[in-house]
């Protein structure tokens, strides 16, 4: 039986042929394909200004810099996310301030945000976990009341919507990711959506060494930019993927529906919010009843692997990592994020999956969980 990974990119032949054309063109770093990709993304997002980067992490960091976040500032974010979300806050000299999650949505609990705001708070950095959007109306209302910038970590939310509007088509700064495990990919890559009036040339200088070139051949450097430009090879892949994104996401929604129909909820599995209007279903995640399961999550993952099914973990509660414990955060600070982070698993979900694949996963989840519960109860 073939191994079923938790995700797999889908690159069509036309895109592969397009990459070959780019390679043969002699212009493989940032060039015409990057400009075309930025224009296509901008059109998809309602005409907004977009600049692409070598990663979503780089887009997040430049977004913070463009928003004026720096030394001594505080940025409020969630502890249940990929560590890049908090790392970039440290990279610009600011301090991440974590707020616990809503245990139902698994996104940052907006009811708790205002209590975390201090005189040093400068920005909110929410994450759309698994592609389920944070409540944008409440988010921006809080930011407006307190005069804060918003940088949306929408790395997992490409193609998701909020009340009929695409994530990234409105708001302040929005960072996207095109990593290989995302709903659309450029192999590696990301993008920053900028608000009206933003200094696009400054964004580009942050992206590439701070260099400003002049018509007479001279140059200047006025800021310590990085090296995070996207290649034309990656941009050509992104263009092919963007054209298929809505089709990809429709297939993901269909597969998610089948998971809801096929999973045995009597086993104590906590399923995600059943949102087929706004989520892009980047991931389908369960919270296991690990305290009652023999061997806990690790045994579950091993048993699923023996059945040739890949399981992901997205994500541990990051405030318990050494780096953030050194900043004063400790276990017990955010009990909802810790409980979910200790028990969450990501099931396979990607457009080329079949209905039989979903049945196979559901049957295996039921068998493995039932066995672990029985063994756990017997001890």
Cα separation, 69 vs 113, in Å, equals 18
Number of H helices, E strands in the chain: 13, 13
- 147 three-state secondary structure: coil
The per-residue DSSP string of 225-268 comes to --B-PPPHHHHHHHHHHHTTHHHHHHHHHHHHHHHHHHS-GGG-
Q: What angle, rounded to 10 degrees, do the helices at 200-207 and 56-66 form?
A: 130
- 332 three-state secondary structure: coil
Active site amino acids: 182
The answer to whether the CB of 248 falls within 8 A of the CB of 351 is yes
Beta-carbon neighbour count of residue 68 at 10 Å?
Answer: 11
Cα separation, 75 vs 66, in Å, equals 14
């Amino acid at each position: 039986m073939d191994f079923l990974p938790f995700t797999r990119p889908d690159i069509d032949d036309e895109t592969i042929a397009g990459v070959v054309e780019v390679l043969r063109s002699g212009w493989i770093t940032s060039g015409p394909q990057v400009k075309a990709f930025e224009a296509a993304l901008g059109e998809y997002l309602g005409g907004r200004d977009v600049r692409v980067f070598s990663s979503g992490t780089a887009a997040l960091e430049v977004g913070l810099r463009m928003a004026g976040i720096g030394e001594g500032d505080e940025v409020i974010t969630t502890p249940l996310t990929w560590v890049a979300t908090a790392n970039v806050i440290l990279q610009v000299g600011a301090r991440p301030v974590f707020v616990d999650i809503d245990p139902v949505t698994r996104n940052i609990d907006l009811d708790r945000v205002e209590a975390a705001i201090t005189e040093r708070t400068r920005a909110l950095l929410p994450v759309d976990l698994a592609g389920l959007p944070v409540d944008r109306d409440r988010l921006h209302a809080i930011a407006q009341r307190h005069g804060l910038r918003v940088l949306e970590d929408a790395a997992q939310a490409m193609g998701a919507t909020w009340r009929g509007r695409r994530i990234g088509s409105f708001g302040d700064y929005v960072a996207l990711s095109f990593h290989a495990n995302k709903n659309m990919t450029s192999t590696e890559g990301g993008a920053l959506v900028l608000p009206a009036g933003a200094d696009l040339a400054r964004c580009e200088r942050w992206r590439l060494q701070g260099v400003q070139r002049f018509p007479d051949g001279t140059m200047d450097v006025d800021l310590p930019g990085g090296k995070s430009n996207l290649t034309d090879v990656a941009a050509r892949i992104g263009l092919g993927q963007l054209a298929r994104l809505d089709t990809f996401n429709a297939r993901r929604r269909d597969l998610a529906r089948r998971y809801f129909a096929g999973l045995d909820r009597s086993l104590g599995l906590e399923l995600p919010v059943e949102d087929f209007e706004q989520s892009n279903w980047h991931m389908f995640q369960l919270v296991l009843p690990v305290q009652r399961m023999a061997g806990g999550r690790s045994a579950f993952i091993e048993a699923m692997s023996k059945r040739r099914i890949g399981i992901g973990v997205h994500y541990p509660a990051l405030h318990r990592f050494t780096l953030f414990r050194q900043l004063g955060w400790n276990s017990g600070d955010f009990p909802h994020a810790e409980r979910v982070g200790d028990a969450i698993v990501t099931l396979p979900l990607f457009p080329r999956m079949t209905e039989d694949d979903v049945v196979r996963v559901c049957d295996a989840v039921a068998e493995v969980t039932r066995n672990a519960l029985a063994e756990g109860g017997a001890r």
